[in-house]
Amino acid sequence: MRTDDPQGPGDARPGPPRGRQKAWGGPALSGDDPPGPGDAHPQRWRGALALVAALGLAAGFSAPAAAFTVFACEPEWAALTRVLLPQARLHVATHARQDPHHIEARPALIAQLRSADLAVCTGAGLEEGWLPMLQQRAGNPRVQEGAPGLLLAAEQVKLIDARPGQLRQPFAGDIHPEGNPHVHADPHRLLEVARALARRLAQLEPAEAAAIDGRFNAFERDWRRRIADWERRAAPLKGRAVVVQHASFAYLWNWLGLRPLADLEPKPGLAPSPGHLQSLLTTLRAQPSQAVPAVVAVVVAQHQDARAGRWLVDQLGTALPLLQLPATVTDEAAADALGRWYEQLLQALLSSVPPGPGPASPAAGPAASNPGR
């Protein structure tokens, strides 16, 4: 924990200590206190930025007038931040090909968190293997537990699959006792996180409050319209099943009315084992003949090893597709990144539905009342 962060009187967002640019390895400029890339103090920024620009060092600054810096633990929260405060300076700790449960607390991430005015993370234990260490080493009081500069998405919505009484143990997998943290795969919950994020951004950046509010309202209108469209198109999925690997998409299944019939992981967060896969195969083969066709696909996330899923579809030999889907947006900086990700998921799942009537099971839900769709 750093103790040298100055906190001037009435300074809600203390600037970093002077001379700190050496800590992140930036250019050692002469003159009074040139900003590090994350220097968040607006007054100091304005003068200092002119200096930086004059020195031709502003190439990396896409929006130099707005120094508000956001550290997003996952790309979905970066994408949401871009919707609400496009001029924010953004650092994203993980990408779609990484497992957000397990990343290395690299020095670059520590420096990025040190500069952040706001950290937007998932919480509910998702980042417990690396975020506390980053927070401690960054020593940035703005983003510590309980500070307004830390927004945890899982605290803004109701979680599914809480396992009270389950203790997390190192190397025992990703149990998620507080409930499933992968909330961004439900567009309704995503909207609630967007609402909370808009409020928090407005609180921390009051000069932008009206603009943030306007952008949130536009996003909400558009998002609700799209949810309705997705739900209408997803009707053929209702009552069908998927074989999964980890609960990364559990909220998506809930939303679409898909049933996760089996999990390739023997325990949450533990890699598929030969014994577990063999027993899954036996179970799936023992299903009534119409049950396996009701399974739409074996779904693994892009950051996971697909070999176990591949083995299972090969063994089943029922032309069941193996879908490798990104567990988050693949390009958070792209326009409409979140909408495109949902589109991608939905289209992959719909393309896996065999033609003909939906599953015959009485538990099939609305799809059964729409035969032939």
Residues that bind Zn ion (CB under 5 A): 174
CB of 128 to Zn ion, least distance (A): 11
Q: Is 18 exposed, middle or buried (0-12, 13-18, 19+ CB in 10 A)?
A: exposed
Q: For residues 174 and 186, which CB has a smaller minimum distance to Zn ion in the complex?
A: 174
| Residue at 63: amino acid letter | A
CB of 131 to Zn ion, least distance (A): 14
The secondary element (H helix, E strand) that includes residue 345 is helix 337-352
CB of 269 to Zn ion, least distance (A): 6
Q: For residues 174 and 178, which CB has a smaller minimum distance to Zn ion in the complex?
A: 174
Q: For residues 271 and 353, which CB has a smaller minimum distance to Zn ion in the complex?
A: 271
CA–CA dist 246, 325 (Å, integer): 13
CB of 235 to Zn ion, least distance (A): 28
CA–CA dist 323, 348 (Å, integer): 7
Q: For residues 259 and 303, which CB has a smaller minimum distance to Zn ion in the complex?
A: 303
CA–CA dist 240, 260 (Å, integer): 9
CA–CA dist 46, 307 (Å, integer): 53
CB of 362 to Zn ion, least distance (A): 32
Q: For residues 263 and 343, which CB has a smaller minimum distance to Zn ion in the complex?
A: 263
In this chain, which residue has its C-beta nearest to Zn ion? 174
Strands (E) located in the chain: 69-72, 89-92, 118-121, 150-152, 241-244, 259-263, 295-301, 322-325
Q: Cβ distance 190 to 184 under 8 Å?
A: yes
